[in-house]
Amino acid sequence: MVEVSASLLGLKNENTIQTLYNLETAKIDYFHIDVMDGEFVENNTANRMIEYCEYLNSISNLPLDVHLMVKDVSSYISSFLVFEPNIITFHLEVARDKEQIMEWIKVIKENNVRVGISVKPDTKIEEVEEFLPFIHLVLVMTVEPGKGGQELIPKTVEKIRALKRYVQDKKIEVDIEADGGINLDTVGFVKEAGADIIVSGSAITNSDNYADMVEKLKR
């Protein structure tokens, strides 16, 4: 059974509180917090995501799965550590070198938060292998980062499969999370390829019954 991390990117402003409450009661496993800085990707969602986290910290015990699509990883790690998230994920592509990645891993870990590294569709999955012994999760982007409601890119499913095979062969304990374009038509491929956690945004928030959609995605 996969876990479901619901992306809040597509939340409409009018009934945010009600929507967050409905998501929680729909039995999602994580709130997926898509933090965009307007530099790594065009959109800027940082302030809105901080607002959501402030609110969630006061009403919910569900874990926060923070996905940093930002250039200045260090400062965003600090900004989101205050919410005591379960996971903080940064993008491999923004690092200057291995030392910087190991530094980010260290800062996140010493704050008792699980570390994720995310790779864009065109980044080879082999590039994350050397970091696997030090992290908890790989976030495989199944769309180009930057916005919700996109179509899943089929070639990314093979990256999930290759990564799953690699971590099983090497007996490395790391979760594989898939993110982007995941709905009832695509979730089967992603699960079959080996994803442990799936991110879903528009498939859930555009549905008229969150609990029903979440249950179907998990099945």
**Segment near ligand DX5 (CB under 6 A), from 5-13, 70-78, 166-174, 185-193?**
5-13
29 is an active site residue: no
**Quick check: 160 and 137 in contact, CB under 8 A?**
no
CA-angle at 98, arms to 96 and 99, nearest 5°: 90
Q: How many Å apart are CA 74 and CA 39, to the nearest integer?
A: 15
The only residue of 180, 186, 187, 214 in contact with ligand DX5, by rule CB under 6 A: 180
Tokens representing residue 6 in the block? 């619901």
**Smallest distance from the beta carbon of 48 to ligand DX5, in angstroms?**
12
Q: How many Å apart are CA 130 and CA 126, to the nearest integer?
A: 8
State which amino acid sits at residue 152. Answer: L
Picking from 47, 104, 97, the residue whose alpha carbon sits closest to that of residue 73 is: 104
Instruction: Tell me which of ligand DX5, Zn ion, none is bound by residue 190, counting a contact when its beta carbon lies within the kind-specific cut-off of 5 to 8 angstroms.
Output: none
**Smallest distance from the beta carbon of 141 to ligand DX5, in angstroms?**
7
Kindly state whether residue 177 participates in binding ligand DX5, applying the rule CB under 6 A: no
**Smallest distance from the beta carbon of 21 to ligand DX5, in angstroms?**
20
The only residue of 146, 166, 175, 218 in contact with ligand DX5, by rule CB under 6 A: 146
- Residues numbered 51-70 forming contacts with ligand DX5, rule: CB under 6 A: 67, 69
Task: State the angle between helix axes of 210-218 and 16-25 in degrees (0 to 180), rounded to the nearest 10.
Answer: 40
* Residues acting as catalytic residues: 34, 179
